[in-house]
Structure 1
Amino acid sequence: MLYAFGFERLGVVVGDLYLVDPSLPAGREGPERGVRLEVRMFERGDAGGSLYKAWPITLERPLWRADLLESVASPPGSLDRAHYHPSFTGWGPVDDVFTPELSADPVGWLADRLADPAALLAEAGVGRGEVGPHDVADLQAAQPDIMRFVEQLIDTAADGLQARPPHWEQLASARISWL
């Protein structure tokens, strides 16, 4: 499942995620499931000279990411592997960042971060001139709606309704998600 919130140049995408990465360090081995949220640049393409054609919309470079994940072996809803990436280099995120505040209350921590988009963008190294003039205020106003979808996806992932592998496959490595 993928949800997208687009503003002028800035957007937020939220999706469920099932991940198996054999290169994870000890203590983080095994499959993970949960929700990934990315703040990204959005680009509107040329509709080809007509006001009635659909606009091409591109989800461009990621700026910031939160991974509200849990080990599949952990109790549902534990979010015991929640971390974030404060910035990106191109398409690649910086290292995983685990903080006590994020571990203690992943959903509340994310809600607080989205409530202050200016600070989030500053942490990502994004200048105000890179985003639209109303993007920060629009993202801040949309925060309750975004969080409603985050919480819904966390619940469906914990229930095994999203963020799951195909039942017939044993996967040694996988990333099942739009994000």
Structure 2
Amino acid sequence: MARDADATKERILQAATVEFAAHGFAGGRVERIATHATSNVRMIYAYYGGKSRLFDATLAQALRRMAENVPPRPEDLPGWAGEVFDHHQRYPEVLRLSMWAQLERPEAMAEPLDVYRDKTLAVATAGASPLTPVDVLVFVYAIAQAWELSPRGLTGLEGDPHHRDRLVAHRTAVITAVERMLRV
């Protein structure tokens, strides 16, 4: 049976996403990734050259997919904030990978700068706010990510923080906050 290198690489990246999102770079284990990818450690090293480059590739893929799934909408930044919020609810591992990278491998965060540069240019050309385009993006992302980044004890004070009604209310608050921010 012939090997499908692309399929193997994709399985490795999927397993690495789960592993690194749960355990970070330092706690992530290449052996567990290989097992979950139905591959072996030797193939991981052959394709990615080691744990560092695998983490970097995993992070870059997750951020690029997010950029593709949630493209900027300069004409409707509040709606875009809602979409970013929805993306983080569906794919919390992307945010977790980003947080681990900031803590353990900040140099890995440099890879997808072109993605953010494109978004910033789109916002700048729309003239959507008196704030700088970078400020706008930072605020939109911060507001959209806040629910996932808040302590579970705080978000759970009134019950299940992931109950549908709570998420709908929070999504509405995200959109309202961005609308108000843009009126500054």
Instruction: Identify the TM-score tier after normalising by the shorter chain.
Output: under 0.3
TM-score by length of 1: 0.28
Higher relative contact order (CA 8 A, sep 6+): 1
Q: Mark the structure with the bigger radius of gyration.
A: 2
TM-score, structure 2 normalization: 0.27
Higher helix share: 2
Name the one with the larger strand percent. 1
